[in-house]
Every structure is written in structure tokens, then in C-alpha cells.
Amino acid sequence: MNIEKTRPPYGGHGDRGITVLLKKMHDVVADDVNAQERLDHLTTIIANHVVADVCSIYLRRSDDRLELFATTGLKTEAVHITRLTWGEGLVGLVADNQQPLVTDNAPAHPAFSYRPETGEDLLQSFLGVPLLHSGQVLGVLVLQNHKARQYKEDEVGAAQAVATLLAEIAASGELLDRAETQEVDEVLHRPESLKGSGVVPGIVIAQAATHEAPIPKHRVFAGDVSVEAKKLETGLELLRESVDNMLLKKDLKGVSREVLETYRLFAYDRGWKERLRTAVFSGLSAETAVLRVKAENRERMNKSADPYLRERLYDLDDLANRLIRLMNGESPDTPRALPENAILFAETMGPAELLEYDREKLKGVVLADASQTSHVAIVARAMEIPMLGGLSQAFDRIEEGDTIIIDGTTGDLHIRPNQDVLTSYKNKQELQSEKQARYAKERHLASVSLDGREIDILMNAGLVLDMPHLVSTGAVGVGLFRTELQFLIGSQLPSVEQQETLYREVMDYANGKPVIFRTADLGGDKTAEYMHRSQEVNPAMGWRGLRMAVDRPGLFRPQLRALLSATAGGYLNVMLPMVTLGSEIDEARHMLDLEINWHKKRNKPLPKTIKIGAMIETPAAAWALEHIAPKVDFFSVGGNDLAQFYFAADRETPAVTRRFDPLNTGFLSFLKRIVSKSEEAKVPLGYCGEQVSDPLVAVGLLGVGIKHFSVPATMVGPFRRLVRHLHMDRLEEWFDDQLLSSRDSLRIDLQNYLKSEDIKVEDL
């Protein structure tokens, strides 16, 4: 909704839209009167403008009561007397739900709370909207009429715009006196706790810092409209110039150029500029005008059914933020400096961006959207940086320098925690440190169960940064080295020489321990800017993994050449990702043979042995295991993708990933069949997957007969300790019985079983 074109909610006033109201609000705020008079004047002009019989402003107090601060239409003696508890009455319901409430029969509403001192007996219609700022409700704006009527959608939108502006004025100190502003500030900066998803485990207590520079503090209303108009004009000129300069770069192509062309289109859009100018001439500061128009665009585009338009919303948001920083003399492209102990907040972030930060200062990361298997998470895990995802609501609530606690295991985020919470987490940190020290002392112990069953525990890696963990954890090797990260982090396709250097360095670190290199699992969500690919409706099930590799020999063969050279004289273990058909393995082997011949013709040394493995990540490959077995030397179950395809649930979508459990009886039976088929074919089988981070899932995988695992480095110690407390024969026998049941999940039953075995997984 374009708020410049809204009409008054009731009665009609020709062309008088919200611009006129904003001008009047500006004049009231600028008046040299006390805070109460200012509030009283605001309610009067809002009521007159929208032709409401009542306009009231309720503000939130430090005890969370909602106090009537100003009104036109109710009894004035009720001001500062009428107080509602949080959630009480229609006003309290608006605050609690943080949503507008509209009714044409207020007294009949089940939440209605009658307050005789207000004199609202004859009022029927009610429109209440929350005053929201930084994710907090600061109060409620209420419009009421004697006649029963339903307020229209654009009327509600206009009221929301006014309420948002009121919240901004209250927070800025331009509306209330010093004491009241201080109380508002206390509400905005009180402790908060949010729940996200744990991505990389670990507890961190540090200061908040943002990946994107924060919007500079600014006044809501203009002191001098002509000055603000000039600031806006200068900022737009600088913005256009910066976008033009970026487009002049010769190395810019593909997706990067398309994004910047979109930026340029928006930056030169006359409609955008005119809406900004109109907002400034209504009396708003240049910064507030940009934020106001940004909010309008967001509301309008969020309602669009066109996914392309919704994606462009991020471009518009970024452009608006850049404009504000340019107006304040800042460069939006200057790398951010971190405080000494920082938890970084970012909407999105690529692995290369994370690596650019100072590791000594960066202690944790919070992302709006990230999963355990995203590439930035893989890099964070390699750097041992705890990470949370799924916390987009946190970004409005934090300020740079706030004390923050993150728990990467539970997904908990604490903003400005009180002393009790701080003490609790400091104690938890100490306990975790003690556990890690205990695991380190046990790294030389064998991973053998109570009844003598040996379990191989290898670790996952994807960067040279990971390799020192091989010694510190006592892992017997690297069961999955993700080679695609080298392709994704760089700005161009890595050369054969660059790849060979990496693989040779990895082998040197391994110092004789086995390393399984998975060929680049590209495609789907794993693409770099230099990779030109068409849009796919379902990338996870599209052109990716081995499918892409055999279709693109120019990418696949150089990698095979680099692997052969790097492991010359040693042992090469190559694992092929996303196998679905045996014919794909035949094509891959043919390309490997071509590269072996290339080495022989040039008298270049080759590895002593070469083993080829297939990742079982699709039900198609799992069901055809006996046909694939003759073509490979080993199998590895890719647990994350296999579960995704088995349950038909995108692992990146929290709404569906929470609807299934890897301890589902059907899925465990499916895995047990894979184990049996691999044993019949006499082909070794391992398991790679972040699911092992859940100790109950790890027990479940052991229970269906899996003996070789590749797990995150942080899980090697806990997993070894778990194995050493289990009796494998009894565990497998228990699972054989349980898999015959019809229960959806064995999680609760398994917890009870472990209790009967006197095993407390949380203490291991």
C-alpha cells in the first residue's frame, strides 16, 4: 500500500492523505510545549484527520502495564489513571499479539474489558494497532467510533504507518520528556531470549556486531526540510555513481552483473525518488523518509505472488540501507572492523565472507537462515565458531555492543542477559571445557564397545583448517573431504595446480591416515557466482553431483587429474556424490581411466592403489545397491540427503524438517536393508551425516549395524565415549525387535532402553 494515497478511514476528505497528517504531526512535535501537551495535540490532529470519535495513545510502562497517556474523545481524567495489564482488554490483546485488531462491535468481543472511568460506553467500532520499534511493543494506538463499521484494509495500513512513526518518535526522544524516554529506552533494551536452530555447537558470551553496518541514528522529523531534501538529493547522486562504478568492473559477469543491473534500475527509478521526496516534504528527515518508503515497498512486495518480485525485495532493502549510509558520509562497501570479542549477526553470508573476518575477534555467528549442511556452516565448523540459524527476528532487537549469549547446541540466543543467566552460561562453558579436555585425554583410546565390537570413527573435513583436528580428536582418518568448497569460495574455477596443492597439503596433514576425497558435489544450492546455470524448480533434485560431473568433463577431469597427482605414490580414495544410476559410475570410471592414461603417457607417477566409492544419497541408489556394488570398492551413506529424499522433506526448510525423525522405524529399516545388501555384496559401507551429532541417532545407526562413520570433528570424542559404553549385541537385538513395530519414532523407547542399560547420553 502506498501510504501517500490513503484516505481518511471515515468520512472522507478529498485529497487529504497521510502526507497532510505527517506535516501536522511534524508541527506538533516541533512545538515548544511540554510532553503531555504534545501528546494531546497529536491525538487531536489524528482524530480530526481520520474523523474518529476517539483517538487514544497507550504507552508501555516498565512493569508491562499499558497506560493511557493521551486521548481525544475519552474522559481526560482517565489519562495516567487507566492501566491495563499485558493481554488485558482489546488494547492488551493488540500488544500481546503484536497485530492490528479490528471489530465493529467492541463490547461483544470476548477480550473486551470495560473501564467506566474512560466513558467509552457508547463506542462500537475499534481499531487498535501496536507501536512497534526494534521488535518491541512500545504501546498501542486506538481509533474508535460510535457507529458500528468495519475499517478497511487500507485504513488499517494507514493507521499502522502512523503507529510506526509514533513508535519511532517515542524511541528517538522527540515525543516524551526525559524520564518517560528513559523508561521507553529500558523497555527497548531489556533482556530477551529467542529460540533458533543450533548449527555449530558451542557456547559463546560476547558483544553483538553486525555484518551490515547499522543504520546511523537520526531524528525522525526534519529540522529544516530544505536541508533534508538536499541531503536526499546528494545521497541519490552518490548511490547512482557507486552503482555505475561497480558496473564498470571488467571482471563482473553473470549473476553479479544481473544483480547490479537491478540495483541500477531501482537507483534510477523516478517513482522511487518521487516517493522519497514526498516523504521528506511531509516533514520527515531524509533517513526516516527512506525507511518509510522501504517499509511501503516491503509491505507491497510481500503480498505479491510473484517469487521474482519477492526476491527483488532484498535488492531494494540493500539499496535503501546503502542510501542512508551514503547520506551520512559512510561507505557501504568498507569492510567492517570487529570488536575484540564479537558475535556476528548477518541476514545471509557466504563462506568466503566468513573467512575474511579476523578469527581472533570473531567468536560466534547468528544468521537469519542457515542449516547444519550449508557451506557457511561447514566453514564455521572448521573454524570452530559456534553458529545459530533461523533467527531473522533477532536483527531488529540487537544493537552493536549488546552482550549476547549463543548456545549452538540448543539454538538459544540471549540478548542483554541478566546476571543470573550470565552466571548459568559461564558455568555451562566451564563444564563444556572440562568435557572437551576429557575427550582430548581419551583420543588415543580405541573405539571398542563393551562386548569387543570395533567401530571406525573418521571425521569430516572440507578445508585445510580442518586437518589439525585429525590429531586433536584421535579420528582414524578423514571419511569425507568435501572438495567443492574450493570451487565455491573462490572467484573463479580453481586450476589443476591449485587443486593439486590443496589435496597434497591435506595428504601431508593426514600423515598416512586414510582420506576419502568426495569429488565436487556442485549444483543445486552449491554454485558460485562464476557458474552460469539456469534456474531449476527443485534444485535439490536437479542437475547436481555426479550428474553434473559426467556432463561437464571440463570440470570433472581436471579434478581427477589433480587428485591422481597429489596422491602419487600413496593411496587415492575417491567418492562419487549423488549417485542414482550405475551408468553414471561407468562414465566417471571412463574419465578416470583417461586421466590415468594421461599420466602414463607423460611418465608421471600414479597412486599405488585407487579405490572408487559411491555415496548412497538417493532411494534409487539404495534400492539398486546390488547392481552398483560390482562397479565400486566401497559405499558411503549420505545420511542428510538420503533422509531428505526418503521423507520428501527439504532439509533446509524448518517447517518440514521438524516433521520427521531419523529414528523413524521405516527409515531405520531402510538403512538396515542397505547394510544387509552391502554385506551380501562384500562391499564396505560407511555413514556420513550431521545427524550423528544427535547421540540418540548415533545409537540408532549403530543399532542397525553400521560400523564405519565419518562425523564432524567435534563429535569424534563424544561418539567414541558413547561406543565404549554400549553392548552392541544387546543393542542390535533390541533394534531387531523394535523395527517390527508400527511406531513413527523410536526416540522415547530408545531413551528408556538406554536408561535400562544405565547409560546417560547427556553425561557422556
Q: How many CB atoms lie within 10 A of CB 736?
A: 13
- Decide if 564 contacts 596 (C-beta within 8 A): yes
What are the φ and ψ backbone dihedral angles of 479, each rounded to 5 degrees? -85, -10
Kindly report, residue by residue over 297-317, the tens digit of the pLDDT.
766 666 555 554 555 555 677
Rounded CA gap, 264 and 267, in Å? 5
Instruction: Single out the residue of 698, 732, 730, 701 nearest to residue 717, CA to CA.
Output: 698
Rounded CA gap, 597 and 347, in Å? 48
Kindly report, residue by residue over 164-186, the tens digit of the pLDDT.
888 887 777 766 767 777 777 77
Of 107 and 310, the structure prediction assigns the larger pLDDT to: 107
Kindly report, residue by residue over 256-280, the tens digit of the pLDDT.
455 566 667 777 777 788 888 888 8
Cell (9 digits) for 327: 547520506
DSSP 645-669: HHHT--TT-HHHHTT--TTBHHHHH
Of 2 and 473, the structure prediction assigns the larger pLDDT to: 473
Average pLDDT over residues 646-664: 76
Asked whether residue 162 carries a pLDDT value surpassing 80, the answer given is: yes
Asked whether residue 506 carries a pLDDT value surpassing 50, the answer given is: yes
Residue 708 DSSP SS3 = strand
- Decide if 211 contacts 354 (C-beta within 8 A): no
- Decide if 142 contacts 55 (C-beta within 8 A): yes
- Decide if 369 contacts 348 (C-beta within 8 A): yes
Strands 609-616 and 571-576: parallel
Confidence (pLDDT) at 362: 93
- One-letter amino acid identity for 169? I
The total number of residues written for the chain in this structure: 764
pLDDT band at 599; cut points 50, 70, 90: very high
Residue 262 DSSP SS3 = helix
All domains of the chain in start order, with CATH: 3-188 (3.30.450.40), 192-211+338-433 (3.50.30.10), 225-327 (1.10.274.10), 446-533+543-763 (3.20.20.60)
Asked whether residue 288 carries a pLDDT value surpassing 90, the answer given is: no
Rounded CA gap, 51 and 310, in Å? 35
DSSP 74-128: S-GGGTTT-EE-TT-HHHHHHHHHTS-EEES-GGGSTT----GGG--TT--EEEE
Confidence (pLDDT) at 335: 57
Confidence (pLDDT) at 459: 94
- One-letter amino acid identity for 319? L
* pTM for the full predicted model: 0.63
Kindly report, residue by residue over 235-259, the tens digit of the pLDDT.
898 888 887 776 676 454 444 455 5
> CA-based angle 595:600:602, to the nearest 5?
100
> CA-based angle 441:442:445, to the nearest 5?
140
Q: How many CB atoms lie within 10 A of CB 570?
A: 16
125 - beta bridge partners?
A: 145
DSSP 37: H
Cell (9 digits) for 753: 532402553
What are the φ and ψ backbone dihedral angles of 85, each rounded to 5 degrees? -70, 160
Asked whether residue 6 carries a pLDDT value surpassing 50, the answer given is: no
Asked whether residue 720 carries a pLDDT value surpassing 80, the answer given is: yes
Q: How many CB atoms lie within 10 A of CB 173?
A: 16
Rounded CA gap, 678 and 121, in Å? 78
- Alpha carbon separation from 272 to 93, 160, 233, 287 (Å, rounded): 36, 21, 12, 14
Rounded CA gap, 438 and 115, in Å? 63
Of 228 and 705, the structure prediction assigns the larger pLDDT to: 705
Asked whether residue 2 carries a pLDDT value surpassing 90, the answer given is: no
Kindly report, residue by residue over 34-72, the tens digit of the pLDDT.
778 888 888 888 888 877 899 999 998 878 889 999 899
Rounded CA gap, 669 and 717, in Å? 27
Confidence (pLDDT) at 537: 58
Kindly report, residue by residue over 24-34, the tens digit of the pLDDT.
777 777 777 77
Confidence (pLDDT) at 751: 94
Strands 571-576 and 515-518: parallel
Average pLDDT over residues 100-128: 90
What are the φ and ψ backbone dihedral angles of 346, each rounded to 5 degrees? -145, 140
Instruction: Single out the residue of 5, 13, 15, 291 nearest to residue 169, CA to CA.
Output: 291
- One-letter amino acid identity for 495? S
- One-letter amino acid identity for 345? F
Asked whether residue 15 carries a pLDDT value surpassing 70, the answer given is: no
Instruction: Single out the residue of 292, 341, 386, 372 nearest to residue 711, CA to CA.
Output: 372
DSSP 454: B
Least confident of 209-218, 260-269, 597-606, 691-700: 260-269
Confidence (pLDDT) at 253: 46
Q: Is the dihedral of CA 702, 703, 707, 709 positive or negative?
A: negative
**CA 37 remoteness from chain centre:** 45
- Decide if 137 contacts 98 (C-beta within 8 A): yes
Residue 164 DSSP SS3 = helix
> CA-based angle 164:165:166, to the nearest 5?
90
For the chain, the farthest-separated pair of C-alpha atoms sits apart, in whole angstroms, at: 98
pLDDT band at 10; cut points 50, 70, 90: very low
10 Å CB burial of residue 307 (0-12, 13-18, 19+) is exposed
Of 496 and 181, the structure prediction assigns the larger pLDDT to: 496
Rounded CA gap, 295 and 215, in Å? 14
10 Å CB burial of residue 28 (0-12, 13-18, 19+) is buried
Confidence (pLDDT) at 531: 56
Average pLDDT over residues 614-640: 94
Kindly report, residue by residue over 337-377, the tens digit of the pLDDT.
788 899 999 877 767 678 778 888 999 999 887 666 566 78
Asked whether residue 115 carries a pLDDT value surpassing 50, the answer given is: yes
pLDDT band at 430; cut points 50, 70, 90: confident
C-alpha gyration radius of the chain: 31
Confidence (pLDDT) at 484: 85
Residue 624 DSSP SS3 = coil
Residue indicated by cell numbers 555415496? 615
Percentage of the chain exceeding pLDDT 70: 85
Confidence (pLDDT) at 14: 33
**CA 179 remoteness from chain centre:** 37
Kindly report, residue by residue over 78-103, the tens digit of the pLDDT.
999 999 999 999 999 999 998 999 99
Confidence (pLDDT) at 352: 64
pLDDT band at 681; cut points 50, 70, 90: very high
DSSP 477-515: SEEEEETHHHHHHSSSPPPHHHHHHHHHHHHHHHTTS-E
